[in-house]
Chain A
Amino acid sequence: MLNANSPLASGPSYSFATPPNQTSTNIKQHSFNPYTDNGGSTLGITGDDFAILAGDTRSTSGYNINTRYAPKVFKIGEDDGTGESAHIVLSVVGFAADGNALKERLNAIVKMYRYQHGKPMSVKACAQRLSTILYGKRFFPYYVHAILGGLDEEGKGALYSYDPVGSYEREQCRAAGAAASLIMPFLDNQVNFKNQYIPGSGEGHALEARKATPLPRAEVEQLVRDAFTSAVERHIEVGDGLQMLVVTKNGIEEIYDPLKKD
């Protein structure tokens, strides 16, 4: 549980340093808070033979915008910049500095794995390793919600989502960050078909629920765009640009779409 007085619990914090607090007894209380919330949102969806990880590119601090282009989704384990040698993607949202540090560490580990073993790291192994990295900082965590994407050993889309201390789970879809509460119920409905039933299939408990089937890539891409344009309308920390990384057996494709900048 967070300290109720910490900036993390009491809303947006504007900088690392807080001005000294004057108490009635004339004692100055100094404090330093090592975390900032940089806002933004990320989202991952898998299909039969692909995985999409997306994130907006706005970075905020309180009501200020630091930049309109700060990527939150990264290729992991590439060494030529073409994306052909990489087959894993990572998205991090929360405290951007921790996110970047985490990306750098995982990137180095995945590369070292290939150099030492002469084969690329599987997504399953990478997912377990990321959990270990996060738990390694259990008592001074990376303040991020991470999502890892790629293709599993069978070539099927794989997606793993994490809490800041390394608890993780493989899922079909996951939204994280500032607008996660807005996007996630929409995804439940449109990806996993929650609360949808087959008309005329029965009465009461006999009524048959619509089964979730993997969606085609074009449909998933459009769902991601819809989710983000919706989030942009209602959340001030989300906007500017939408970056998508699509993992297929042919490598990683990057797509950038502009979002509203207001």
Chain B
Amino acid sequence: MSSPFSINGGACVAMVGKDCVAIACDLRLGLQSLTVSNNFPKIFPYGDVYLGLTGLATDVTTVADLFRYKVNMYRLREERQISPQTMANLVSTSLYEKRFGPYFVSPVIAGINHTTGKPFICGFDSIGCIDFAKDFIVSGTASDQLFGTCEGLWEPDMEPEDLFETISQALLNAVDRDALSGWGAYVYVIEKDKVTKRLLKGRQD
């Protein structure tokens, strides 16, 4: 339990649907078993791309701010929004720069590529190895539980409404079996020209 990845707790999950993607996170921030805050979102928007960060809370904030700076610089230089694929490579190389003193985070990316119109999700380890999954990505202290619920509930080509229900149930039931995650959740459903952000209450214990 002294692992930097499990001091603060938290969970994040991303899923692919039919012409849509969803990304969700819990809201807990804790110090081991003591809950410090129940309003600590772990998903950060960068234009069309959404980045979920779990792990050590100080690194979550630092990395989120670092990518805000990097993505802003990209937009100014290129005069266009960053695509999810480019963001994935930016995250990967940035994390690998810290190969021998890493940020203790497990990032997740979700977005729709506006040139191809195709949904995109991926996940990383703390030193930038990319996991290009076609179905779902999980991260955080409830990752075992999330693997179980996602593997059981997910199916291909879901419409946005079904995708929302699936990712919400997967996250809510997973965090209820993890003492370090929970206390409500944020769910983003991303479609081609619409993003819906919902706040889920969940169990408050």
Contact of A208 with B by CB under 8 A = no
Q: Which of B144, B147, B151, B169 makes the CB contact (< 8 A) with A189?
A: B169
**In the assembled complex, how far is the CB of residue A220 from the closest CB belonging to chain B, in whole angstroms?**
15
Contact yes or no, B145 A194, CB < 8 A: no
Q: Which of B148, B173, B174, B177 makes the CB contact (< 8 A) with A230?
A: B148
Q: What separation, in Å, do the CA atoms of A182 and B152 have in the docked complex?
A: 9
Q: Which of A181, A194, A196 makes the CB contact (< 8 A) with B148?
A: A181
Q: Which of B151, B172, B174 makes the CB contact (< 8 A) with A233?
A: B151
Q: Which of A184, A196, A231, A233 makes the CB contact (< 8 A) with B177?
A: A184
Residues 20-78 (chain B) with a chain A CB within 8 angstroms = none
Contact of A185 with B by CB under 8 A = yes
**In the assembled complex, how far is the CB of residue B73 from the closest CB belonging to chain A, in whole angstroms?**
38
Contacts of A181 in B (CB 8 A): 144-145, 148, 177
Contact of A186 with B by CB under 8 A = yes
Residues 168-203 (chain A) with a chain B CB within 8 angstroms = 179, 181-186, 188-190, 194-196
Contact of A234 with B by CB under 8 A = yes
With both beta carbons as reference points, the residue of chain B lying nearest to A190 in the complex is identified as B152
Contacts of A185 in B (CB 8 A): 145, 148-149, 173-174, 176-177
Q: Which of A188, A226, A231 makes the CB contact (< 8 A) with B173?
A: A188
Contact of A70 with B by CB under 8 A = no
Contacts of A179 in B (CB 8 A): 148
Given the interface pairs A181-B145, A182-B144, A182-B145, the reply to whether A194 lies near B152 with Cβ below 8 Å is no
Contacts of B177 in A (CB 8 A): 181, 184-185, 188
Number of A-B contacts (CB under 8 A): 53
Contact yes or no, B176 A195, CB < 8 A: yes
Contact yes or no, A234 B147, CB < 8 A: yes
Contacts of B147 in A (CB 8 A): 182, 234
**In the assembled complex, how far is the CB of residue B104 from the closest CB belonging to chain A, in whole angstroms?**
20
Residues 209-262 (chain A) with a chain B CB within 8 angstroms = 226-227, 230-231, 233-234
Contacts of A231 in B (CB 8 A): 148, 151
Query: Quick one: CB contact mask for B134-170 with A, threshold 8 Å, 1 for yes?
Result: 0000000000110111011100000000000000010
**In the assembled complex, how far is the CB of residue B37 from the closest CB belonging to chain A, in whole angstroms?**
22
Contact yes or no, B144 A186, CB < 8 A: no
Contacts of A226 in B (CB 8 A): 152
Q: What separation, in Å, do the CA atoms of A226 and B151 have in the docked complex?
A: 9
Q: What separation, in Å, do the CA atoms of A130 and B172 have in the docked complex?
A: 34
Contact yes or no, A195 B172, CB < 8 A: yes
Q: What separation, in Å, do the CA atoms of A182 and B142 have in the docked complex?
A: 10
Q: What separation, in Å, do the CA atoms of A195 and B148 have in the docked complex?
A: 16
Q: What separation, in Å, do the CA atoms of A184 and B202 have in the docked complex?
A: 18
Q: What separation, in Å, do the CA atoms of A190 and B170 have in the docked complex?
A: 11
Contact yes or no, B176 A186, CB < 8 A: no
**In the assembled complex, how far is the CB of residue A1 from the closest CB belonging to chain B, in whole angstroms?**
12
Q: What separation, in Å, do the CA atoms of A7 and B169 have in the docked complex?
A: 36
Q: What separation, in Å, do the CA atoms of A185 and B172 have in the docked complex?
A: 9
Query: Quick one: CB contact mask for B163-202 with A, threshold 8 Å, 1 for yes?
Result: 0000001001110110000000000000000000000001
**In the assembled complex, how far is the CB of residue A45 from the closest CB belonging to chain B, in whole angstroms?**
14
Q: What separation, in Å, do the CA atoms of A239 and B108 have in the docked complex?
A: 29
Given the interface pairs A185-B173, A185-B177, A195-B176, the reply to whether A230 lies near B145 with Cβ below 8 Å is no
**In the assembled complex, how far is the CB of residue A56 from the closest CB belonging to chain B, in whole angstroms?**
14
Q: Which residues of B contact A (CB under 8 A)?
A: 144-145, 147-149, 151-153, 169, 172-174, 176-177, 202
Q: In the A-B complex, list the 7 residue pairs whose CB atoms are closest, starting with the nearest.
A: A182-B148, A230-B151, A181-B144, A186-B152, A195-B172, A189-B173, A185-B173
A-B contact pairs, 30 of them (CB 8 A): A181-B145, A181-B177, A182-B144, A182-B148, A183-B148, A184-B145, A184-B148, A185-B145, A185-B149, A185-B177, A186-B148, A186-B152, A186-B153, A188-B176, A188-B177, A189-B153, A189-B169, A190-B152, A194-B176, A195-B169, A195-B172, A195-B202, A196-B169, A226-B152, A227-B152, A230-B148, A230-B151, A233-B151, A234-B147, A234-B148
